[in-house]
Amino acid sequence: MYRIFDYRVPFCGAIVVTILFFKYAGISKQVQIYQEFMKSFVEFGSLCFGVLLTFFGIVIQSSSETIRRMKRRTKNFNRFIVYNRDIIIFSLVLTIFAYILGNLNFWKITTYSISELVISIFIGAFTYFIYGLLYLLIIFFNLLRQHED
């Protein structure tokens, strides 16, 4: 059951958002706005990468009583660690993607709707990333709640 919400739901949601955004958003008139959004995501993505990586290191290396109790719940703790690792990697990849594509001048190419496709893929990936962050918080607070019980 958890595998569905961990990977399939956000992936399917990102694909649906990408398709709907590509089909209905009318991107061609607002390409500059989306390029600026991609450029500005670099700071947010870098911040999320750093915070998540630091949090990951603290949780793995900590020997406090709270973390030890969390580690005893091995199924949820392992799920938290694996999902945190995946979101860290995805954050890094999406930030690099946003940096490269936000600073390129391919936006002037009008052949085959390349810019619309790239923007739609980015919006879908952004949706996946936000879902992943929120879901990671839910898993973490669930571990903390189990610790208190």
**Confidence grade of residue 1 (pLDDT, cut at 50, 70, 90):** low
- The mean pLDDT of the chain is 82
* pLDDT for the residue 65: 79
How far, in Å, CA of 13 to CA of 7, rounded? 10
pTM of the entire predicted model:
0.82
**Confidence grade of residue 107 (pLDDT, cut at 50, 70, 90):** low
Residue 149 has pLDDT above 70, yes or no: no
Closest C-alpha among 131, 124, 147, 121 to residue 68: 147
The more confidently predicted of residues 142 and 5 is 142
Mean pLDDT calculated for residue range 108-125: 78
**Confidence grade of residue 109 (pLDDT, cut at 50, 70, 90):** low
Residue 96 has pLDDT above 90, yes or no: yes
How far, in Å, CA of 119 to CA of 102, rounded? 10
